[in-house]
Amino acid sequence: MKYKTLIYLACFTLFVLGFQDKQSLPEGFVYAKTIIPDLDIELRYYTSNNFVGDTIDGYKSNKLIITKGTAEKLKLVQEELHLQNLCLKVYDGYRPQRAVNHFIRWARDLNDTINKQQFYPEVNKRNLFKAGYIASRSGHSRGSTIDLTITNGETGEPLDMGSPYDFFGEQSWVNYKDITEEQRKNRQLLQTVMLKHNFRNYSKEWWHFTLRWEPFPKTYFDFEVE
């Protein structure tokens, strides 16, 4: 009896902690998995696999946080892709302002070029601000912007889009011409399905989309991803 009681208390504690965790989000925000349970999430800024080469300030877990409206529309995208045996993979969603500040500090340290060859081989680091790759504010901090790609539903492997995620260069522009026909079709599929479900794209990043009529168009949040 005592053993069962301990198990009950442990389970109840985990339930309460999980409930509190979800309730800690600002009103209008959700954990994406509560609406899209099968969504593949790989927050690159929670890892060292990004242009900085380190975990970014404010990312304390691999949990995708976005506004509720964004999650609901993204669910429709996922459902449509499932009909073609395809899925979504998300690399970033809500981004705390402190993470953007981390990018700014990194960009000003011209000696730190550990991942230059992988992410910005043809761009001088001192020009990242001028070229628009780094900014003091990000639409991600408003909660309705997401970075994502499409994966094969059987293997989980991302489709070939012609450039890696977060690659700083013309190869990442949506209408970049010097790619294969397959890569072009993959990009067009992503653009088409996202635009259909109320997302607008960013012409210089094939992976970047923002919900139209986002709920917080002028508010930049700074709560942590945890």
Catalytic, 80? Answer no
Q: Is 24 exposed, middle or buried (0-12, 13-18, 19+ CB in 10 A)?
A: exposed
Is the pLDDT assigned to residue 158 strictly greater than 50?
yes
| Of the candidate ranges 3-7, 59-63, 94-98, the one whose mean pLDDT is the lowest | 3-7
Residue 105: alpha-carbon gap to chain centroid? 21
Q: Which whole number is the average pLDDT over 28-43?
A: 98
12: left (phi over 0), alpha (psi -120 to 50) or beta: alpha
**β-strand pairing of 145-152 with 86-92:** antiparallel
Pull the structure tokens for residue 191. Answer: 């653009």
Across the chain, what does the average pLDDT equal? Answer: 92
- Rounded Cα distance between 187 and 84, Å, is 15
Q: Which whole number is the average pLDDT over 58-78?
A: 98
pLDDT at 27: 98
- Indicate the helix (H) or strand (E) that contains 216: none
> Over the stretch 166-194, which tens digit does the pLDDT of each residue have?
999 999 999 999 999 999 999 999 999 99
| Of the candidate ranges 13-22, 36-45, 147-156, the one whose mean pLDDT is the lowest | 13-22
Catalytic: which of 80, 205, 224, 226? 205
End-to-end Cα separation, the chain, in angstroms: 36
Confidence bin at 15 (pLDDT 50/70/90) = very low
Confidence bin at 132 (pLDDT 50/70/90) = confident
| Of the candidate ranges 88-102, 121-135, 138-152, 186-200, the one whose mean pLDDT is the lowest | 121-135
Reduced to 3 states, what is the DSSP secondary structure of residue 93? coil
Amino acid in the structure at residue 73: K
Amino acid in the structure at residue 124: N
Q: Which whole number is the average pLDDT over 142-165?
A: 98
